[in-house]
Amino acid sequence: MRTLIISDIHANLNALEAVLQAAGEIDQVWFLGDVVGYGPDPNECIELLRSQPNLQALMGNHDAALMDFISIERFNYEAAEAIRVQAGMISHESRDFLELLRLKLEIDELTLVHGSPRNPIWEYILGATTAKANFDDFSTQGCLIGHTHVPSVFILNETGVVQMLLPENGDRWQPNGRFILNPGSVGQPRNFDPRAAFVIWDDEDETFLFKRITYDIESVTKRIMQLGIPKRQATRLWLGT
């Protein structure tokens, strides 16, 4: 079975469409949170996401803020302004979808969260120290996370040391032991590579394939500016930051 693992779409329809086309035939989609925020296309992204086969979807911090489940005051100015703009755009159907998103899922030997196992909404796992502190908060072999927008794998070895990997486009990784894996961001990558990021999990050969794909950034940035979303959310798409 081929599973598409994606996270942090952030209302970027062009990037999501490119990822779905590049992924090819898939059996199911696991989404790790933040379908809204930053970008110009929240309703369109939700509609396309919810149409995917055997979808399992989680709530991210931007999803929670748009729904007023958490305070927008915790966000920086540019992020908060994007949420305010989108709050005036979001449809009733999109709100119904966001309201039912879950914070954590367990599927077979994998735990799915947005931020971290111990804090599914807010905590960033950016390095080995934070990753190590989270291994006690899930009981499955692996944990899939988003939130940082950086493709990465944290591997816990038998001696308790955590190794950090930063996979590149086309890298295929096979787990051996416990791990935390981040597929990167569809809609706003932040590792100085502007290409949309995703992962394909093949449970037959037990491998995670890390992929990047180019998309039409220019049209996304134009729509961001037309909506009055802060310019930084447009310029950073070109830079991958």
Domain spans, the chain: 2-239
Distance CA 135, CA 139 (A): 8
Q: What digits encode the pLDDT tens for the residues 199-229? A: 999 999 999 999 999 999 999 999 999 999 9
Q: How confident is the model at residue 241 (pLDDT cuts 50, 70, 90)?
A: confident
- How many other β-carbons are positioned within 10 Å of the β-carbon of residue 139? 12
Q: Identify the CATH class of 2-239.
A: alpha beta
CA angle 173, 53, 23 (to 5 degrees): 40
pLDDT at 193: 97
Chain position carrying tokens 């005036």: 88
Q: How confident is the model at residue 182 (pLDDT cuts 50, 70, 90)?
A: very high
Quick check: 130 and 124 in contact, CB under 8 A? yes
Give the mean pLDDT of 232-237: 96
Quick check: 98 and 36 in contact, CB under 8 A? yes
Reduced to 3 states (helix: H, G, I; strand: E, B; else coil), residue 167 is coil
Give the mean pLDDT of 73-81: 93
Quick check: 196 and 189 in contact, CB under 8 A? yes
Percent of the chain scored above 70 by pLDDT?
A: 100
